[in-house]
Amino acid sequence: MSLNIIDNNPYRFLGVYSNSSTKVRLSNINKMKAYLKVGKKVEFPSDMTNLLSSIKRDLNKIDETTNSINQPQDQLKYALFWFINFTNIDKIALDHAITGNIDKAYELLQKKETFSSLINLGILSFIQGNNGDAINYITRVIHEYPLRLGFVEAICGNTQTISEKDLAKLFVDSLSEELSVKELADLFKQYGVSSNDYDILKDKLVDEHINTIYNAINQANSINKSNPENSYRAGIRLINSTKPIIQDLKRLLSINDLTYQKTIDNLANRILQCGIDYYNDSNEDEETTIDKTLKIAYKANEIAVGQLVKERCEDTINTLNDNKLNIPLHSIQNELKQIDIAVDNFKNPQQRNNNSSDDFINIRPVTVDIVSNNKYKYQLEAVSTLIDKTEGPLLSIKQKLYDNQELYLTISTNIASLALNKIIDVVNSSQKSLNDHYSSSFGSPFDSYSNFNRRLTITDLSSLLNSSISLMERLASFGMKEDFRSHFNSQKSTLVSMKNQLGSAMVNYYNNYNRPKQQSSSGCMVALCSIVILTIISLIM
């Protein structure tokens, strides 16, 4: 199918070639009027009905068509899209075209390059759908001065002139009314003979793309927001429909171009707002709502150029991600409250002891040997209470956060770390207390009571280690992050090793204690006990 400007060209309607004289044109007009007044069909050889669709003529169109080519610029415009009969070769070739022998017409017109042969080759190429070849033929006439001069004189006489740029614009503007600017830009880039033509189309394409983007924005603005899903769909539609346009604009302009920045930032703002409108009014579950809004917000941030728009997108994304992280916390609020109370009471034992109404102190007794020093006893009882009060809530959290075990492990590891640190502190402090006591007394460190009443003895330390290991075994069931689990196991092994070494020392002591005493044995045992205590201290530190 040929172009409309060829099918309905004013020169064709009048039955003339573009360079036909005024006399021939008037003669044809008079003939048309005479025939049409009596209802008789009128035809001319240049109608080219073997190549083009039939032409419909009526009296009402004669004057309108005549007036459409009164001005030189209009004459040139339509002459770029109609046959010209300027040389003998043109006449012979056009006669073949009239009969439908287009191949012969091509052959003749290609024998010698003239402005008229190039124009005629261009029209034949347009008729056959070879738009690229047609553009090449005609733009050579436009941009080569001798050819352009001959063409203008043949159409308008030697008194009219037109610049290369203006003639090229006539040609490009006429084509852009029928073919997409994108298609034309590609054709001119490949087949055109001047980059100036492509620049004309580039400006047109930029304007076309910008108009398309703003039309899409206006459409998104006009949606019915009573249904939140409409806002979401509008955002996705904006993203998808403008994606190829953005890519083309980036190719035609640059991200530093102010027009590009303004247009794209307006688009990004509208896309982001669609997501925000959906989020604010959505009835879907929170996680789904956040995920869908993030999909839009990330895309808006990706295409945004200006710093202000990017910051708005990034603030929205950060807020949504924070909200998403807090989603699991909503389902475990009761458990976290119980854990907070247990931890607070653990860290503030004085407050715990003074608050008789708090059931925190109403716990099962610690199922370990009771140490003789109340300070260490209460500290280990506090660890036992912490385990009692948190293991139930932690199990519930683990079950509720089935898909988010990282959060469960973080909470559980923090509790285990708190308990472990207290156990280590108790063991270290008790050893120091024992060492200080033994250094300042003359009694046996293995006696239940030394010279200083209720001071810690080796027997007490042994019981304390048993209690600590028992607590560690209970803590082992808590969820822990991998690196902390390794640290925990190492500390537990150290305590077990200390217990075993202390046990051996105590056995040796009691074995020697029951033997007949010699004056020198006391000094040897003192040295042995001192070595055991120092060894234990070095292990736990």
> Containing domain of residue 240, as a range?
224-328
Express each pLDDT in 229-254 by its tens digit. Answer: 999 999 999 999 999 999 999 988 88
- What does pTM read for this prediction? 0.57
Residues 372 and 490 in one domain: yes
Residues 482 and 372 placed together within one structural domain of the fold: yes
Share of the chain above pLDDT 90, in %: 63
The whole-number pLDDT of residue 373 equals 58
Across all residues in the chain, what is the average pLDDT?
85
Name the least confident of 213-227, 390-404, 453-467.
453-467
User: Do 415 and 268 share a structural domain?
Assistant: no
Cβ pair 86, 114 in contact under 8 A? yes
Ramachandran category for residue 17: left, alpha or beta (phi over 0 → left; psi -120 to 50 → alpha):
beta
Instruction: Quote the CA–CA distance of 495 and 489 in Å, as a whole number.
Output: 10
Per-residue pLDDT at 364 exceeds 60: no
- The DSSP code for 366 is P
- Residues 445, 525 contacting (CB under 8 angstroms): no
From 9, 85, 2, select the one nearest 50 (Cα to Cα).
Answer: 2
Q: Would you call 381 exposed, middle or buried from its count of C-beta atoms within 10 A (0-12, 13-18, 19+)? A: buried
Residue 164 lies in a domain: yes
Q: How far apart are CA 94 and CA 488, in angstroms?
A: 98
Q: Is the residue at 212 inside a domain?
A: no
**pLDDT score at 377:** 82
Same domain, 311 and 342: no
With respect to residue 384, please indicate whether it lies within any of the assigned structural domains: yes
- 405-414 pLDDT, tens digit each: 888 899 999 9
Q: Which of 165, 190, 215 is the last residue of a domain?
A: 190
The 10s digit of each residue's pLDDT in 69-126 is: 999 999 999 999 999 999 999 999 999 999 999 999 999 999 999 999 999 999 999 9
| Claim to verify: residue 312 and residue 374 sit in the same structural domain | no
Same domain, 385 and 508: yes
Alpha-carbon distance 336 to 324, whole Å?
18
Alpha helix segments (H runs only) across 253-285? 258-281
Residue 201 covered by a domain? no
The whole-angstrom separation of Cα 230 and Cα 238 is 12
- Give me the torsion for CA of 105, 106, 109, 111, rounded to 10°: -120
List pLDDT tens digits, range 489-536: 999 999 898 888 887 777 776 666 555 554 433 333 333 344 444 444
Q: What confidence score (pLDDT) does residue 2 get? A: 79
Q: Is the same domain home to 527 and 413?
A: yes
Q: Residue 428 pLDDT more than 80?
A: yes
Task: Give me 27's structure tokens.
Answer: 């003669």
Same domain, 167 and 285: no
Q: Give yes or no: residues 358 and 491 share one domain.
A: yes
Cα-Cα-Cα-Cα torsion 438, 443, 447, 448, nearest 10 degrees, comes to -80
Residue 494: strand, helix, or coil: helix
- Residue 199 domain flag: no
- Per-residue confidence (pLDDT) for residue 439, from 0 to 100: 57
**For residue 35, which of 45, 47, 48, 44 has the smallest C-alpha distance?**
44
Over residues 412-422, the pLDDT tens digits come to 999 999 999 99
Residue 401 located in a structural domain: yes
Kindly state whether residues 67 and 132 are assigned to the same domain. yes
Among the candidates 190, 214, 237, a domain finishes at: 190
Whose CA is closest to 28, among 14, 49, 8, 9?
14
Evaluate if residue 441 carries a pLDDT over 70.
Answer: no
pLDDT for res 433: 75
CB neighbour class for 220 (10 Å; exposed up to 12, middle 13-18, buried from 19): buried
Structural domain contains residue 214: no
Instruction: Say yes or no to pLDDT of 294 above 90.
Output: yes
Other C-beta atoms closer than 10 Å to the C-beta of 59 total 11
Residue 454 has pLDDT above 50, yes or no: no
320 and 390 both lie in a single domain: no
Categorize the per-residue pLDDT at 263 as very low, low, confident or very high, splitting at 50, 70 and 90.
very high
Count up the domains in the chain and report the number: 3
Q: Supply the pLDDT for residue 298.
A: 96
- 375 against 390, higher pLDDT: 390
The CB-side HSE value for 294 (13 A sphere, CA atoms) comes to 14
